[in-house]
């Protein structure tokens, strides 16, 4: 029989103090433009508490001090990753993909490359959904998807294209069979995006509120479920910056829970959550 010592030390979980929450809120706003309101304190604790335990730290203040210490650059990146990664899944807000297939693709001039940017692509489900749609409806094969995100950790997952089998719930069965491989052996319970499809998709690190890499121009930009985390000045700067990467006549897609109301832009409303850049005169 194994007896557990009655006097085994048990350290209580650190409590996130108000001034500590204010510090990380200001830090994330400066680094990523994301606004954490008071309701997000539990989220901060849920995502960072393991990092404190990993380093054996007794307070969030001690943990935040690591951000400025030489040699802890990876920890800073990890903290930003944890606090800026959002939910995503295949064929989320599916009407946007219907519009892409039925309205945008038929307008495309044959023989020209077709480029789509999945901004804030997270773990890649949106980018691979776009790839399935284009593979079905743009038979020329002259198309590519660029996915970007601020989280290096989540981008590594996206590049692998490996997901739990239950992630296939929203993928139409015909597309699932055509573009996904069923895992076996150590990958039992997972699905892998077909390598032939993955060759059309690339993932690049980008912080949307700072200088962006040279990505070129796109026919369509998906920026969904991102601006809801920003205040109005940050939204305006983001829109100004990203719309420069849209070709004249290109389409800009945001989530159904967002709008460009109150923002200055040349983009014209096509329908709710879908906008178009005017053609050059």
Active-site residue flag, 149: yes
How many CB atoms sit inside 10 A of residue 132's CB?
23
Phi, psi of 210 (to 5 degrees): -120, -175
How many CB atoms sit inside 10 A of residue 205's CB?
12
CA 101 to CA 162: how far, in whole Å? 25
For 281, the token pair is: 């005169």
Active-site residue flag, 47: yes
The DSSP secondary-structure symbol of 112 reads S
> What residue spans of 33-124 are helical by DSSP H?
41-55, 60-65, 73-84, 95-99
Which of 255, 281, 279, 256 lies closest to 267, judged by CA?
Answer: 279
Write down the catalytic residue from 25, 26, 38, 47: 47
Write down the catalytic residue from 25, 149, 224, 276: 149
Task: Name the helix (H) or strand (E) containing 271.
Answer: strand 268-271
Burial pattern 77-101, b for ≥16 Cβ within 10 A else e, equals bbbbbbbbbeebbbbbbeebbebbe
Q: Which residues are catalytic?
A: 47, 149
């Amino acid at each position: 029989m194994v007896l557990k010592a009655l006097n085994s030390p048990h350290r209580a979980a650190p409590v996130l103090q108000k001034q500590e929450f204010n510090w990380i809120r200001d830090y994330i706003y400066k680094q990523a433009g994301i606004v954490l309101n008071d309701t997000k304190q539990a989220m901060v604790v849920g995502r960072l508490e393991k990092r404190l335990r990993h380093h054996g730290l007794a307070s969030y203040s001690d943990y935040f001090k690591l951000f400025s210490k030489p040699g802890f650059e990876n920890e800073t990146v990890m903290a930003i990753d944890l606090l800026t990664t959002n939910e995503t899944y295949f064929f989320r807000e599916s009407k946007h993909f219907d519009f892409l297939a039925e309205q945008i693709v038929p307008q495309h001039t044959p023989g020209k490359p077709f480029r789509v940017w999945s901004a804030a692509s997270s773990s890649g489900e949106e980018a691979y959904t776009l790839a399935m749609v284009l593979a079905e409806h743009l038979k020329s094969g002259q198309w590519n998807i660029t996915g970007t995100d601020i989280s290096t950790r989540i981008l590594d997952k996206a590049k692998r294209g490996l997901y739990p089998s239950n992630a296939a719930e929203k993928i139409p069965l015909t597309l699932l069979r055509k573009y996904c491989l069923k895992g076996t052996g150590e990958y039992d319970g997972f699905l892998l995006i077909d390598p032939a499809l993955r060759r059309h998709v690339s993932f690049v690190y980008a912080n949307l509120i700072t200088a962006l890499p040279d990505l070129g121009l796109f026919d369509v930009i998906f920026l969904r479920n991102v601006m809801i985390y920003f205040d109005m000045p940050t939204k305006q700067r983001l829109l100004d910056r990203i719309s420069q990467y849209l070709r004249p006549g290109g389409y800009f897609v945001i989530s159904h829970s967002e709008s460009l109301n109150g923002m200055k832009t040349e983009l014209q409303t096509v329908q709710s959550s879908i906008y178009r850049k005017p053609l050059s005169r």
